[in-house]
Amino acid sequence: MQAQEFSQSVIPVPVEQKQLKLSRIRLMIQELSFELATLDKAIAADEQKCGIKDPGHFAYPCHLTAAQLRRKNLLRTVEGLKRCALLEKLAA
């Protein structure tokens, strides 16, 4: 396929679709940020209840270790979505 033929065969994405995609990404960021805040409160409450705040402590509850891991994963996801939103905004 020649370069000219390729450029004609590519269908440009309408601006409305790009804006919709950007809106969806922003909504996901908001939802995950809310979930992060809720998880932070739950972790703090459970640490207060058990009296151990050090994840390295031998008696630190397993469910809190899993919650900390979930929190870390959510943070990574939010950062990735923010980069995605920036790229979408620049491409629009």
> Is the residue at 29 inside a domain?
yes
> Is the residue at 83 inside a domain?
yes
> Is the residue at 36 inside a domain?
yes
Q: What is the pTM of this model?
A: 0.76
CA distance 36 to 18: 27
What per-residue confidence (pLDDT) applies to 1? 47
Confidence category of residue 90, pLDDT binned at 50, 70, 90: confident
Q: What is the DSSP string of the chain?
A: --HHHHHHHSPPPPHHHHHHHHHHHHHHHHHHHHHHHHHHHHHHHHHHHHT---TTSTT--HHHHHHHHHHHHHHHHHHHHHHHHHHHHHH-
> Is the residue at 78 inside a domain?
yes
> Is the residue at 72 inside a domain?
yes
> Is the residue at 44 inside a domain?
yes
The parent domain of residue 85 ranges over 15-91
User: How many structural domains are present in the chain?
Assistant: 1
> Is the residue at 5 inside a domain?
no
Which is more confidently placed, 88 or 56? Answer: 56
Q: What is the pLDDT of residues 31-68, one digit of tens each?
A: 999 999 999 999 999 999 999 999 999 999 999 999 99
